[in-house]
Structure 1
């Protein structure tokens, strides 16, 4: 209990933020310091209020802040729990609310073209032996989905996310949701002829990474993303032409 008291002892001395924000930050720090795992329940608001020497209303406001930050979740009738991936949200930049999805896809392709070849290069340098079979299995899964006519978007996202994981760079892994969002969106626009290219370039990327060949991995990923970008550019031009014809 003494350790817990020390964590919260100076909470009201900081006047640069609201009391609720201070409480929220300290609760978040406890989650980090005490390695409270995903799915574990926090003390109830009565206990937290007593420990922090603040009112229950302040505790409720602090919890709301942490829910908004995707650090906690409230389960009705059960209590407050740490979420699976604290602090992470699926659409951190609000892409779901962008009206022009085709232009957004083009912009994201520009980002991917600069970032993902380097990610593949790094993965080829750092992949561990026990990860190579998994990468090949994910590549096979994408091919199977495409050849069977199923939606391959989720499998495609998983493949690219695993390439990032093989870099063993925690920052790259965390920014991948931005990349995988563009992948899921792009599969909706993908031309049939590009599906075969997806299979081919995915295998080129996979084998280059598994062979620990950084340059080949870079070149293969660059080719893959470039083909995707060219295809979505065609879709955008067609869409713009249709809009002009409609206006005329």
Structure 2
């Protein structure tokens, strides 16, 4: 995957935000169609679709079948808008993003050690098994990797923390895929996930934290 792709993707979101501002659109208003956005921005519809998907994952817009795409009310998550704006406007934000993700994941893991249900812990085991199967078939288990971490953060039962984590990781999924593509990294990553899972299963919080610190350090994103 080209290293230029994240820049194009971010630039399109910037321009969509500018269209929202210029057209004086607000919560509940309908966005221009994919085709119209593609024409106005002079970019391919697939690129527009990718940008809209990111905004939808961040819970900033919603697509209604047969109606179009609408701006969602800010609700309780206006802080996500601040983070989104920071990430889009600061080209040197990668290190800050990485550090913030690390802080969130480690604190989430501390809470998960206490709050995680046995079913959620078993779900981690299933994700590790699926990742091994995907890898054995020659596929890169990016989704299983993402869901492993998401399951831990979800187990904190803190919606704001989860929303912040999703907003950070969605902007870094390209870096995640590049990290997993490094020679030998995938099998090591799966083993690191297994170490985290086993520590959580035994409720050994300190061991789980150390395993996660090692995993995030080795991930390099």
The TM-score range, normalised by the shorter chain, is: 0.5 to 0.7
Q: Indicate the residue corresponding to 2:175 in structure 1.
A: 185
Specify which of 106, 111, 123 is matched with residue 100 of structure 2: 111
Deviation per CA, 1:3-50, whole angstroms, max 9, x where unpaired? xxxxxxxxxxxxxxxxxxxxxxxxxxxxxxxxxxxxxxxxxxxxxxxx
- The answer to whether 1:63 aligns with 2:28 is yes
Contact 1:112 1:225 in 2 (8 A): no
Between the aligned partners of 1:106 and 1:148, the Cα distance in structure 2 is: 34
Q: Indicate the residue corresponding to 2:194 in structure 1.
A: 203
Gaps of 5+ in 2: 1-24, 33-54
Q: Indicate the residue corresponding to 2:158 in structure 1.
A: 169
Between the aligned partners of 1:217 and 1:111, the Cα distance in structure 2 is: 19
1:161, CA displacement in angstroms? 0.7
Deviation per CA, 1:130-151, whole angstroms, max 9, x where unpaired? 2222121122222322333213
Between the aligned partners of 2:70 and 2:186, the Cα distance in structure 1 is: 42
User: What's the secondary structure of 2:29's corresponding residue?
Assistant: helix
Between the aligned partners of 2:26 and 2:133, the Cα distance in structure 1 is: 48
1:95, CA displacement in angstroms? 8.9
Q: Indicate the residue corresponding to 1:11 in structure 2.
A: none
TM-score after normalising by structure 2: 0.59
Specify which of 115, 120, 124 is matched with residue 113 of structure 2: 124
- Give the aligned CA root-mean-square deviation in angstroms: 4.0
User: What's the secondary structure of 2:28's corresponding residue?
Assistant: helix
1:170, CA displacement in angstroms? 1.9
1:96, CA displacement in angstroms? 8.9
Contact 1:120 1:205 in 2 (8 A): no
Contact 1:132 1:210 in 2 (8 A): yes
Aligned pair count? 167
Specify which of 215, 219, 235 is matched with residue 206 of structure 2: 215
User: What's the secondary structure of 1:64's corresponding residue?
Assistant: coil
Deviation per CA, 1:174-209, whole angstroms, max 9, x where unpaired? 112134322453222441222222011101111111
Between the aligned partners of 2:111 and 2:211, the Cα distance in structure 1 is: 13
Rg larger for: 1
User: What's the secondary structure of 2:203's corresponding residue?
Assistant: coil
Contact 1:117 1:217 in 2 (8 A): no
Contact 1:127 1:210 in 2 (8 A): no
**Judging changes above 3 Å, is the alpha-carbon distance between structure 1 residues 211 and 61 closer, same or farther for their aligned structure 2 residues?**
closer
